[in-house]
Chain A
Amino acid sequence: MSVVEVKNLSKVYGSGHTSVKAVDNINLKIEAGDIVLIMGPSGSGKTTLISMIGTLLKPTSGQIIIDNEDTAVLSDTKMADLRLHKLGFMFQSFNLLSALTAEQNVVVPLIVAGVSKKQSIAKARKLLEQLHLEKRLNNLPKNLSGGEKQRVAVARALANEPKLILADEPTANLDTKTGLEVMQLLCNTACGENRAVIIVSHDQRLKSVAKRVITIEDGKLIREEKGNHNNNCSMNHGNIPR
């Protein structure tokens, strides 16, 4: 069963002579456990595509079906519920809440989803421990390194056990080694739990963590190839340096 199905998806900005087709008739099907890397030059429409799949941007035409729900017919409230329960987000600049500690950042989506405070804290701690952040629970984002921030973002994205994780340029603000480590951690966790991941990135090395690599140019899907993910979806992250 597909987690996301994108049918004839297009997005046009502006109108008339000044209109720009950012996404042009894209069709895509992503299954549970898929790790899809979307690549392409700047301005090719990658971020527009991931924003539409994340229900943060309305398409001009076409259809997005997430876990059997047609997003076009959902109200804003239902759309927010869908994002909360079925989608997890990771961003280039981490976007952690600056006033909250690492643990509290992970707790937020859980509390919003109605999980009790006690259970939320327990789950946030468990996730952060899996990501080797057990000693950084009470640190504010400003006191975390880039890699640590992105690992907190991973934990936050995984908190509500979403079916799909959307990561936009997740390694752009990290050094090469740390970026790859964090993505390995995300992809192994997601793969091990049968979650789908869509990564938008320029980083060629992320092909090693992806199962599918899609290339977009001028808003069109021009190529799809196999990634180098080894399909060993182990939950053992002991090899990830702390």
Chain B
Amino acid sequence: MLFLARKNLFQEKTRLLISVGGVAFSVLLMILLQGLNVGFSNILGQYLESVPTDLWVASANTGNIMDPSFLPPTLGQRLKNIDGVASAQPFGMQNITTSVNGKDLAFYMIAYDPSTSVGKPPKVSEGSVAPGKDEIVIDRIVAKSNKIKIGELIPFADKKLKVVGLSEGTFILSTSFAFINKADASEIYTLPTTTNYWLVSVTPGTGVQKVQSRVNGQIPEVNAHTKDHFVQVNVDLVKSIVTPVFGALVVLGALIGLAVIGLTIFTSTIEKAKEYGVLKAIGLKNRQLYVIVIEQALIAATLGFIVGAAIAYALNPTIVSAVPQFVTQLRPFDIAWIFGVTILIAIISSYIPIRRLNKIDPAEVFKA
């Protein structure tokens, strides 16, 4: 009875437009909000993933990169003495706030070591990737939203650092990573004689977890994390902040879709109550009528999904450009489950119209 569902749906063009438009809006919201959710959740993980190390060695109670971690510079030698450790490099990163153009900006300042390339920005969209003395690479989004240009000077403590590059994938919620030369870090950091993490590479052929156990066993004042674990912990940390917010908004988007499609199919069912009565009278079973209603909802939902997804893909670059803080990632996996949710919405939205169908008395068709 697909043709009947289709004909019923397309007969009333305005209602179809409202239905498809409502679902499209709902899908657009869901896709963009989930894109933001994924974008914000993954960006820190992606940066940490780009850091070349097998183990992140932090202070004993440090679980993630937002926790304070301070380690002595002498720890490097102790780590190198452990069987299976190929190298141990210091990784400096401290949260420093400064004022730019009258506005306070917080940076996680990462110390770049030109001799080892540790602390190098993962990618730059403009300028230099390697900050020299008195230079800084800041995040592109921070630069754009605060109108900071390459060549500008940013004050830190008693120094002024010249912006020489704009990095990509280094904006995390309300803060960002910035990259300075190791020589400057010792002047700017609050505890210049300490380092924050040690990056340990294991010798080829040695199990990473085996070395992790040795480090944790032999140096009780540290907590060594495998790279995968450290990335996951940090991704989970950001997710725990952003997902409840975006998740609630995605649910709201789904509810909008549910309400719109439910109402339009319901009004259509009421308007066509007599015709459904005729169908009952001529021998259609209730379940065949349910199929007609569900098919109508599915067609409207699918059309709405196609329109909504197309608009989301078309609008995404514009939105990201207009609001640089929006970091979106539209993944095929998310598009697939949002389609699944849309189909589910269509089926759920058919429930009330179907209940209405049950109440239609076919004997009514004999009334003029």
Contact with A along B257-295 (1 / 0, CB 8 A): 000000000000000101100111111111010000000
Interface residues of B in 217-244 (CB under 8 A from A): none
B3 touches A89 (CB 8 A): no
Q: Name the CB-closest residue of A to B285.
A: A80
How many chain B residues have a CB neighbour from A under 8 Å? 27
Q: Does A112 contact B (CB under 8 A)?
A: yes
Q: Does B314 contact A (CB under 8 A)?
A: no
A168 to B286, CA, bound (A): 24
A92 to B278, CA, bound (A): 12
From A56, A95, A99, A169, contact of B7 by CB (8 A):
A99
A173 to B368, CA, bound (A): 9
A89 touches B275 (CB 8 A): no
Contact with A along B350-362 (1 / 0, CB 8 A): 0000000000011
Q: Does B336 contact A (CB under 8 A)?
A: no
Q: Does A77 contact B (CB under 8 A)?
A: yes
Q: Does B366 contact A (CB under 8 A)?
A: yes
From A77, A85, A91, A111, contact of B365 by CB (8 A):
A91
**B-chain residues with CB within 8 Å of residue A215 when the two chains form the complex:** none
A77 to B288, CA, bound (A): 11
Least distance between B268 CB and chain A CB atoms (Å): 10
Least distance between B162 CB and chain A CB atoms (Å): 70
**Chain A contact patch, size range:** 35 or more
Q: Does A76 contact B (CB under 8 A)?
A: yes
A93 to B283, CA, bound (A): 19
A225 to B30, CA, bound (A): 71
A56 touches B278 (CB 8 A): no
Q: Does B1 contact A (CB under 8 A)?
A: yes
A109 touches B366 (CB 8 A): no
Interface-located stretch among A30-38, A46-54, A232-240: A46-54
**B-chain residues with CB within 8 Å of residue A50 when the two chains form the complex:** 366
B282 touches A76 (CB 8 A): no
Given known contacts A83-B281, A109-B282, A99 and B366 CB-to-CB distance under 8 angstroms = no
Given known contacts A83-B283, A100-B7, A95 and B365 CB-to-CB distance under 8 angstroms = yes
A56 touches B363 (CB 8 A): yes
From B4, B365, B367, contact of A89 by CB (8 A):
B365
A168 to B362, CA, bound (A): 14
A104 touches B366 (CB 8 A): no
Given known contacts A99-B7, A111-B1, A51 and B284 CB-to-CB distance under 8 angstroms = no
User: Which secondary structure characterizes the binding site on chain A?
Assistant: mixed
B275 touches A95 (CB 8 A): yes
**A-chain residues with CB within 8 Å of residue B367 when the two chains form the complex:** 47
Contact with B along A34-76 (1 / 0, CB 8 A): 0000000000000100110010110000000000000000001
**A-chain residues with CB within 8 Å of residue B274 when the two chains form the complex:** 95
B285 touches A93 (CB 8 A): no
From A51, A92, A104, contact of B363 by CB (8 A):
A51
Least distance between B319 CB and chain A CB atoms (Å): 39
Q: Does A163 contact B (CB under 8 A)?
A: no
A168 touches B275 (CB 8 A): no
A73 to B366, CA, bound (A): 24
Least distance between B295 CB and chain A CB atoms (Å): 13
**A-chain residues with CB within 8 Å of residue B53 when the two chains form the complex:** none
B283 touches A85 (CB 8 A): yes
19 extra A-B contacts, CB within 8 A, seeds A99-B11, A108-B282: A76-B285, A77-B285, A80-B280, A83-B282, A83-B283, A87-B283, A88-B282, A89-B365, A91-B278, A91-B365, A95-B278, A97-B4, A97-B275, A97-B278, A98-B11, A98-B275, A99-B10, A109-B282, A111-B1
25 chain-A/chain-B pairs, Cβ below 8 angstroms: A51-B363, A56-B365, A57-B363, A76-B286, A80-B285, A83-B282, A84-B284, A89-B282, A93-B368, A97-B278, A99-B4, A99-B7, A99-B10, A100-B7, A104-B3, A104-B7, A108-B4, A108-B279, A108-B282, A112-B1, A112-B282, A113-B283, A156-B282, A169-B368, A173-B368
